[in-house]
Structure 1
């Protein structure tokens, strides 16, 4: 807020943009071991009088606005990609939906911003300290600040399930393989597509891509596969929020290489994570699958926790072919043998499974529900979980982010616990366990319990049926539930509290998984080293 020196009393306002090209903070000279830093907006504030020499500075307020980033797209347009590109350009001019400013902001300045931005009062957030705290992450790269960083979690290479194998297809033929990222390297997924691209017996590759890295080795392999004469079909979801531009560029490169590219389905986002490789073998055609909980993104795979299943189970392969027929053509959704697919069947499946646990509890049979998701907001699912709790079903929920269910309400949700694990890595995997009257069933996949996932997206949840991998999946959930370091539990007043460590062991589930992966690989290496060497004799001996 300014006041003119020449025309006394005349009030005006000026907005100074903080340049994003400059560092957010600068280190200042300091004595001894002390280090001092100043924010860019504070430097600008200190020099405002030089910028507005003809005015007197009356008040200064750093602020930030968030614009509506939803794209308005005509999905029936002849050129869908062009429509997306036009919408991206309009995003920078989207309607302001949030205003962040400092507490105790000058009242005149506050009113000016509200009027200028035409923002509702409930869209105003007053903060106590600096706005946009992401700048703190930059300290990790400053020399002398190493002690502020976590010790890195470096993936084991190869994952235990692929130890001793150079032929990834042989490994999958011999049994289902489960990988846990980033404790185990994502390179096995990259190599799965890379080997398929070069293998002369591979006939086709089909894959869904939602978010990929800026220099994706998976896309490079898909391009190589097309150049090698294989049939390559890729669904690139152009409506993936904030990745639209990146995905458009990849889609064009894939098309140029000869891949068959689909841009998604009208009215739906394709969020499932699946890759299908069709291979000709001595005993016929075999389908190899990778099914995941996370994106085919080699960059985020280093900091997101996700799970992936490799299998050549023929019934899974048949379901995969049916799913690709739906998302790449005009097929009606089939009756899947093992897959649970949204938007036609996933909601009804989960509702049935929760009701079944409720009925089992009423009959005195073993019952229980353990679920790990990123968000839980679906009203119908929440209602059914409350009913299950009232029937005596023990419900354990691991929800990293938004959770609209409230645990611990007398007569409603006494049997429900809600924990959130926020640690060094971003929890991203989705896992669903149902006790099923003493014969537990476990599923993994791409869907959270939100209306958008169950009703407005193509999502995939798949069962873990191999007994060895089922036991491992159960163990993963048990380890998470035992976390006492990064876990917080929701109270009945919706607040969260850390675990009371008195009398309890300090356990970080993320570090436990990391150490287990390392120990498993070392054990396999030791076994290989100590194995008996058998000499090869000639046939004449």
Structure 2
């Protein structure tokens, strides 16, 4: 196998003649993705507790959006770097638009809970009730709970000249309380934080639950003994949680990151939520003391902090949940030992339809225990708290094998967890590398060096689209390619040398690697499809990613469409490309599929004159992935595996498959039923074997 030619620039047609309004706002696009999650919660055909989980996911998603994306826009304004976006919108205008859309969605979520999901839960014998709904026996049980388990954790903070307004930590749930001193007649304000150690809802028994803040509110006279409680209202703050770390100015990346993590909880405010019943006087106090702008204030029906609904979604009611899934084991592994199977031919696995435990976990566990394995190299971006993969690496190091682990300690919201794992790996004797200065290492790679029966060292490789995380592997859709092909082994060896040393290698055999050549490699292949179409050869582009926001890639796809090349885009989240624009993107279709599993894999298919070239890997089409991360795509060579991936793409894009379909204005339309009202094929159900579909092998 010869190496891919080195990418040396682009033959692309300039984009000056493309319309100036060809890009959509990334932030609004992301909010519309979260709207699609909310639409799943609104779908009465979905099992009830799964609808509750979608409400929880919607809230958690929105929290992260404010903590990162909105925080980034505010920081640009504050630092004076307020350049306009590709849509020619100033960050201040974007913040106003975000506020309007987010407000609309939060109110819609509240309606979904109160008018649809809660009544359905009640019909199923599960009730979320407020304090006023409790009978005498239930109130007495809650009084016992309060005094035994809640009261010792509470600390009321008064606000007066001797007590400044307390710091409100991000995502904490609080009560704003107004009390009057009956002796002086003076009115005062106080804040009570809900204990983070407590569950979101207090369990009344018999599948009845009451928000924890209701229990605390009912016992405020205990906290403010001798005072008259005038009013109380729940509120919540979201803060900037993005890290600012100058890697060029630090001698100890881990120590600097730990210091920054401690500062994260003190970040600037980006959102203030309050129950809609909050009085204007109390809201004025919160606005003034927290420094919240009007557009950052959201008055919504309670209860707040609905990410905590996962407590309800986890109830042991299988009748209200999706049916269990039993992941399959690939046939090749059932017939041969793992290394023999991979040595005789590449293995493509599709999680969670095929088992992560018996493939990826097993691969590394066998490598750790096999006396013929002499070395293991691994990247870790995110993993679970009790990761068997990390334990396998530790076991391998203790057995005397050479173990090199690149732990990306800058993985957002997993920084602390990854630092702990990195130190544990170091203590076991692993060689730990903390990423690459100035870049995040996001690629999913494992390399096992084994001495085979003939005495020759052979490399067994894994290149994945998802994290080495057994927990998320059960609910994230991803692909992994196992290979013992020499060119893949050479590529992974070269890439690991680049990650641990000072190599500037950019040309690989079967890999496309960011930041040195991935954007150029993809653009070149898009341009090849344009050239093939001009010659009358088969030409088509199919891409599956989580996000499509890179302007250069979008412009390349526009050029392909203007040349007449069909372009199919399967995008889970934000897409800034506008499909169906006359004279610009008439051959482009954009679909989104959300469901039981989080669509997470990245697939790139180029028709290549009738012999499709197919790639899978870790990279989304975003500037951060293409310019500021180490990413890797691997070319799939086996014809049957290529066909499998092409058929998956075609099934997703078929008009007979349920999906959300994007219009030129950036709006999404959900197509779930055909013209006769019959439900369309649900892709994930079809892949589980629950629905027939065309082209199933």
Mean CA deviation greater in 21-30 or 462-471: 21-30
Partner of 1:512: 686
Residue aligned with 2:233, SS: coil
Q: Contact 1:237–1:264 (CA<8 Å) still a contact in 2?
A: yes
Change (3 A) 1:269 1:29: closer
Q: Please tell me whether the aligned partners of residues 327 and 353 of structure 2 are also in contact (alpha carbons under 8 angstroms).
A: yes
Contact 1:204 1:232 (8 Å CA) reproduced? yes
Matching residue of 1:4 = 180
1:9-20 residue pairs with structure 2 within 5 A? 12-20=188-196
> C-alpha displacement at 1:362, in angstroms?
4.2
Identify the residue that residue 325 of structure 2 maps to in structure 1.
153
Of 59, 81, 91 in structure 1, the residue corresponding to residue 264 of structure 2 is: 91
What is the aligned counterpart of 1:367 among 530, 535, 539? Answer: 539
Mean alpha-carbon deviation: is it higher for 11-20 or for 46-55?
Answer: 46-55
Asked if 1:323 is matched to 2:504, the reply is: no
- The 3-state SS of whatever aligns with 1:347 is helix
Q: Distance in 1 between matches of 2:277 and 2:529?
A: 52
8 Å contact from structure 2 (residues 612, 642) kept in 1: no
Q: Which of residues 570, 586, 596 is equivalent to 1:398?
A: 570
- Decide which of 307, 310, 334 is 1:134's aligned counterpart: 307
Map 1:59-458 → 2, pairs under 5 A: 60-76=232-248, 77-103=250-276, 105-143=278-316, 145-156=317-328, 158-165=329-336, 167-187=337-357, 188-281=359-452, 282=454, 284-458=456-630
Question: Which secondary structure state, in structure 2, belongs to the residue aligned with residue 288 of structure 1?
Answer: strand
Q: 1: distance between equivalents of 2:241 and 2:638?
A: 43
Contact kept, 8 Å, 2:507 with 2:517, in 1: the verdict is no
CA contact (8 A) 1:203 1:278 kept: yes
2:640 alignment partner, SS class: helix
Asked if structure 1 preserves the Cα contact closer than 8 Å seen for 2:547 and 2:572, the reply is yes
Q: Which residue of 2 aligns with 1:530?
A: none
Q: CA RMSD in A?
A: 2.7
Aligned-partner Cα distance in 2 for 1:495–1:108: 39
Runs of 5+ consecutive residues of structure 2 not aligned to the other structure: 1-176
TM-score of the two chains, using structure 1 as the length reference: 0.87
The size of the alignment, in residue pairs, is 513
Distance in 1 (alpha carbons) for counterparts of 2:388 and 2:495:
25
1:135-174: CA deviations, max 9, x gaps?
332223335x433211122212x22342212x21110111
The alignment partner of 2:288 has SS state of helix
5+ long unaligned stretches in structure 1: 524-541
Per-residue CA deviations over 1:415-468 (Å, capped at 9, x if unaligned) read: 222222111111111111112232211110001111110000000111111112
CA distance in 2, matches of 1:114, 1:383: 43
Tell me how far 1:333 sits from its aligned partner.
2.1
Deviation (angstroms), 1:53: 5.7
Q: Is the 8 A contact 2:194 2:213 kept in 1?
A: yes
Following superposition, the deviation at residue 306 of structure 1 comes to 0.6
Give the C-alpha shift of residue 50 in structure 1: 5.3
User: SS of the counterpart of 2:573?
Assistant: coil
The structure richer in helix per residue is 2
- Structure 1 pair 60–352 and aligned structure 2 pair: CA distance change class (3 A): farther
Contact 2:506 2:513 in 1 (8 A): no
Q: Give the C-alpha shift of residue 267 in structure 1.
A: 0.7
| Partners of 1:58 and 1:367 in 2: CA distance | 71
TM-score with structure 2 length normalisation? 0.69
